Amino acid sequence: MFDGLILLANGVTHFLTPESLFNLAWASLLGIVIGALPGLTATMGVALLVTLTYKMAPDQAILSLMAMYVGSIYGGSRSAILLAIPGTPASAATTLDGFPLAKMGKAGMAMGIATTSSALGTVVGVFFLALIAPLLAEFALRFQSYEFFWLALFGVIISGRLTAIDDPIKGYIAGIVGLLFAMIGMENLHAHQRFTFGISQLGAGIDLIPAMVGAFGFAEILTVMKRKVVPEMAQSTDRVIPRLGDITKHWWTTIRSGIIGTIAGIIPGVGEDIGSWSSYAAARRASKEKELYGKGSIEGLVAAETGNSAVIPGAMIPTLTLALPGSAAAAVLIAAMLIHGIRPGPQIMIENPEFVYQVVGMLLLSTIAITIYGLSLTRLLVRVLTVPREKLMPVVFVLCVVGSFAITQRMFDVYVMIAFGLIGFILREMKYPMAPLVLGIILGDLLDVNLRRGLLITDGDPTPFFTRPISAVLWIVIVITIVMSIPKANESVANLFKRLLPQGRSG
Amino acid sequence: MDEQTPEPERQSDWMNRADFLTGVAFALLGFTIIYLSWIMPRLEIRGIHPSTVPGLVPGLLGALLAISGILLGAKALVRIRGKAGWRAFMAVFASEQAIRFAVVSGLCLAYALILVGRVPFWLATTLFVFALIVAFEVWLNDAPKPLLRSAVFAAVQAAIVAGLVTAVFQYGFLVRLP
């Protein structure tokens, strides 16, 4: 107990050095700017920054990436409020009440509330991160090949189901395609080269960073430049620093949204956008002023912004303890950790326990940074939004090219970036979610090696995959998820519940 | 689908047709992967356990992809069967958005695949940034800017971006740029 508290205190104080504070300051500000600019997302920002920080010391590099992540998720609220365009998908729910508030001349207030809600959301999530991560890591030490196989499949399936609500098959397809990308290159059991078609550079497999830069950078550039709309910006003249009463009035919404956001973060590959939408929906259902939602409800804004920010620490829970990315940006963070010699997974609390608490420290310090920037730099951040995309996007593409090239200094990675950009663009246009694809690329190796290793241990007998207790829970959840995504099965179960429950309570 | 069809219905019809085509494509890809996994060496000569052959997981994933592709395609086919609308589907590829996409992707590909590596990085970057800004400010814009004005500002921005990126990566991060 006390060990944990001491580690936690060390985790925060570790970064109270001039170098760390400097990195925190620029990375979180850059994050806010990237988040605020429509078309530049958190995942893209983090992926591009990996290429700029790979020569830093590991703790400083991860600090910069976390600050960028927190900053960009928060920054998305600016354009959501002022332009009615979410700067990142995470702020889509913020637009619903943020923009109407801005139209009423309360843009400053909306930005202030968004800032404090984001900060409080991160704090709620950080609380659960510090609490749950060590316990989960300890629990996961019992996992063997069988459990890791199911865990990898569980991640891809759950992510596919929850990120493609309208058509789960598209989510599953995205996940399977991601897993298949991971099959390219040398497999780890017998060192056999698969699907390389004589291209020697494919031998080491597809590097995640250029793939992410393509799927989230180049694809986004194509999407943004293709559209024609030019948004109109709301004016901000009122005070930004919120009154204490405005914050404390919605304390219950803040805590509930923080918890919902954290849970969304823990679920593999389910990101900030879903955390935000679910908190918003829950707040609306519980609200006494439902009619105000969508017309400028402060409660709605609080729910959306608390929900998306709480996802970040929530996502770090499975990311650190199971190496199972809680969100798309967390997948990039895993790749970055591996580049810097940090191995996330159940062993982390044994090999590197101080790192988990350092992540807690990074998140808390980033929260302080975004609060300071958010409440003080209003003018500058408004000016950022006026940069026309014609001038911005070519610069971003140059960074995508040079960023993909920089890590291993080979043109092949630029080609990977281009290929993933085009694939990502087409899939996005066809309404396929990107998160399961990313999860697939990260988890493919885990799934492949553990299935075959498990079968090797049992001499080809698959029974333990189904009978071991944790495995059984995982595969049953997977089966239920898939069956429930078939509309007919879903309907029958709903009807069954209606019949079982007393009348009037079913709806 | 004709001009009078409401927009949401037209969009869902377009998506159904796209789903049908992508469903077929994924099913074919799935079958191809099953085949490639089947013919993948099974390393008998090294005496490995037959349940650990390298083609096992890709084969299973290929099968899952084929099944998902067939389901997606079949579901879409049921919705579009008997309805005319392939012409409206194709019209999207000649729309203004398609032209904007063609220009931006063409410039990006020309820069990354042709220019970079063949001409000095700073020059390639200057040309690319300049061309993209001018194309989207002067021609592909509802409120076009005068060519000369746009070109001057674009040239200045292009030179600054190329200079900065080259300097930062070459001297700051010690990357040998292509």
| Matching residue, tokens 């992410």 | A212
Whole-Å CA distances, A76 to A39, A81, A99, A358, A367: 10, 9, 13, 25, 15
Distance in angstroms (rounded) separating the CA atoms of residues A274 and A87: 15
Q: Pick the last residue of a domain from B92, B107, B125.
A: B92
For residue B129, give the nearest of A225, A395, A453 by CB distance.
Answer: A395
Name the residue among A31, A57, A29, A24 with its Cα closest to residue A46: A31
ipTM of predicted complex: 0.93
Q: What are phi and psi of B152, to 5 degrees?
A: -65, -50
B153 and B132 housed in the same domain: yes
The verdict on A25 touching B (C-beta cutoff 8 Å) is no
Name the residue among A336, A313, A337, A335 with its Cα closest to residue A326: A313
pLDDT given at position B3: 55
Hey, are the CB atoms on A169 and B72 less than 8 Å from each other?
yes
B76 and B40 housed in the same domain: yes
Residue B144 lies in a domain: yes
User: What is the pLDDT tens value at each position of chain A, 507 positions in all?
Assistant: 567 788 888 988 999 999 999 999 999 999 999 999 888 889 999 999 998 888 899 999 999 999 999 999 999 999 899 988 888 889 989 999 999 999 888 889 999 999 999 999 999 999 999 999 999 999 999 999 999 999 999 999 999 998 887 889 999 999 999 999 999 999 988 889 999 998 999 998 898 889 999 999 999 999 989 887 666 777 777 788 888 888 888 899 999 999 999 999 999 988 899 999 999 999 999 998 888 998 899 999 999 999 999 999 999 999 999 999 999 999 999 999 999 999 999 999 888 889 999 999 999 999 999 999 999 888 778 888 888 888 999 999 999 999 899 888 889 999 999 999 999 999 999 999 999 999 999 999 999 999 999 999 999 999 999 999 999 999 999 999 999 888 888 888 888 877 876 554 433
Q: Pick the last residue of a domain from B92, B127, B153.
A: B92
Residue B177 lies in a domain: no
pLDDT given at position A493: 83
Residue B80 lies in a domain: yes
| Matching residue, tokens 């590596």 | B117
pLDDT given at position A2: 67
The whole domain housing B14 covers 7-92
B121 and B70 housed in the same domain: no
* Residues 54-113, chain A, touching B (beta carbon < 8 A): 55
B144 and B159 housed in the same domain: yes
Q: Pick the last residue of a domain from B51, B69, B92.
A: B92
Provide the number of structural domains found in chain B: 2
Is residue A354 a contact partner of residue A103, using CB atoms and an 8 Å limit?
no
Is residue A89 a contact partner of residue A119, using CB atoms and an 8 Å limit?
no
How many angstroms away from the CA of A123 is the closest CA of chain B?
35
For residue B176, give the nearest of A226, A395, A409 by CB distance.
Answer: A409
Is residue A482 a contact partner of residue A160, using CB atoms and an 8 Å limit?
no
B55 and B101 housed in the same domain: no
Residue B125 lies in a domain: yes
B77 and B119 housed in the same domain: no
